[in-house]
């Protein structure tokens, strides 16, 4: 379960350029006065949502409306400026695949590193490493340094590692399927399995058909920080990208 209570996320519109300690010390007063003048962008504005176990929450909205920021807040990589997010269960983020990959390490070591960072135990990954490479259809490259993998192979490996991290809550940031046609089918089968197992899913998407087919809740974010929350099945089925704002 995810309980988002009165969450705000503000960002400064820009930063005062003081990348060096020297310029900071010389222009200290100016730096602080300039800093106070920076406009604050309200990306998430008093958001309250409860996502129950087994819910599929689709987060929609235009580019820059705060979808990825919200995904990061739920994943715990970023923290709210105000408010609180309570998570019950283990999160598996598919925010960006293979972020911990190192080109110099071989496939096996990358699987261990990424798996441990995703919360799997080392012994569990060692047991599952053959399955991970088999699912990714690259079992013969297990000892090959990642720099010799094609980008498609890297994506398949990253997806395969993440899907082996059994969790309660899965967050997808527009990545549901990667690779060629047959691999995309395997990814979709995995997603269907998550749905069948009543896993909680947070999905960022621009795909209206997907939203209508799978969502149990829709969170429509607007650039001003406002949002609309749609929970009834009939409203989901008739959803289009112009709903009214509910937190204004």
Pick the closer one to other proteins by CB: 2 or 211.
Answer: 2
Q: Considering the rule CB under 8 A, would residue 16 count as an interface residue with other proteins?
A: no
Instruction: Write out the binding residues for other proteins, residues 122-141 only, by CB under 8 A.
Output: 122
Q: Kindly tell me which residue out of 8, 11, 190, 210 binds other proteins, with binding defined by CB under 8 A.
A: 11
Select the span of 19-27, 135-143, 196-204, 220-228 touching other proteins (CB under 8 A): 19-27
14 binds other proteins (CB under 8 A): no
Site residues for other proteins, 39-78, by CB under 8 A, read 72, 75-78
Question: Least CB distance from residue 209 to other proteins, whole Å?
Answer: 28
Residue from 1, 41, 113, 175 in contact with other proteins (CB under 8 A): 113
Token pair listed for 7: 């969450």
Question: Per rule CB under 8 A, is residue 190 in the interface with other proteins?
Answer: no
Using an 8 Å Cβ cutoff, are 215 and 59 in contact?
no
Interface with other proteins: number of residues (CB under 8 A): 30
Contact call for residue 79 and other proteins (CB under 8 A): yes
Collect all residues with Cβ–Cβ distance below 8 Å to 97 and sequence separation of at least 6: 155, 158, 159, 162, 175, 178
| CA distances for 135 relative to 27, 76, 92, 182, angstroms | 56, 28, 18, 11
Please state, in angstroms and rounded to a whole number, the distance separating the CA atoms of residues 53 and 89: 9
CA distance 183 to 162: 15
């Amino acid at each position: 379960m995810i309980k988002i209570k009165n969450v705000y996320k503000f960002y400064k519109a820009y930063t005062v350029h003081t990348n060096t300690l020297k310029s900071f010390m010389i222009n200290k007063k100016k730096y602080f006065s300039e800093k106070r003048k920076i406009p604050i962008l309200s990306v998430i504005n008093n958001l309250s949502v409860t996502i129950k176990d087994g819910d599929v929450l689709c987060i929609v909205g235009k580019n820059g409306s705060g979808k990825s920021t919200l995904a990061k807040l739920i994943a715990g990589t970023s923290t709210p400026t105000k408010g609180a997010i309570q998570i019950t269960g283990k999160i598996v983020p598919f925010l960006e695949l293979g972020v911990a990959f190192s080109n110099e390490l071989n496939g096996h070591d990358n699987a261990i590193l990424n798996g441990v960072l995703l919360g799997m135990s080392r012994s569990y990954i060692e047991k599952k490493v053959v399955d991970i490479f088999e699912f990714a259809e690259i079992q013969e490259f297990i000892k090959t340094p990642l720099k010799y993998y094609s980008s498609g192979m890297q994506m398949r490996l990253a997806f395969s590692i993440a899907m082996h991290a059994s969790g309660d809550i899965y967050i997808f940031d527009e990545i549901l399927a990667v690779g060629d046609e047959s691999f995309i089918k395997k990814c979709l089968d995995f997603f269907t399995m998550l749905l069948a197992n009543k896993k909680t899913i947070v999905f960022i998407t621009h795909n209206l058909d997907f939203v209508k087919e799978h969502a149990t809740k829709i969170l429509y974010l607007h650039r001003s920080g406002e949002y609309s929350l749609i929970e009834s099945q009939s409203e989901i089925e008739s959803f289009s990208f112009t709903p009214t704002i509910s937190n204004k």
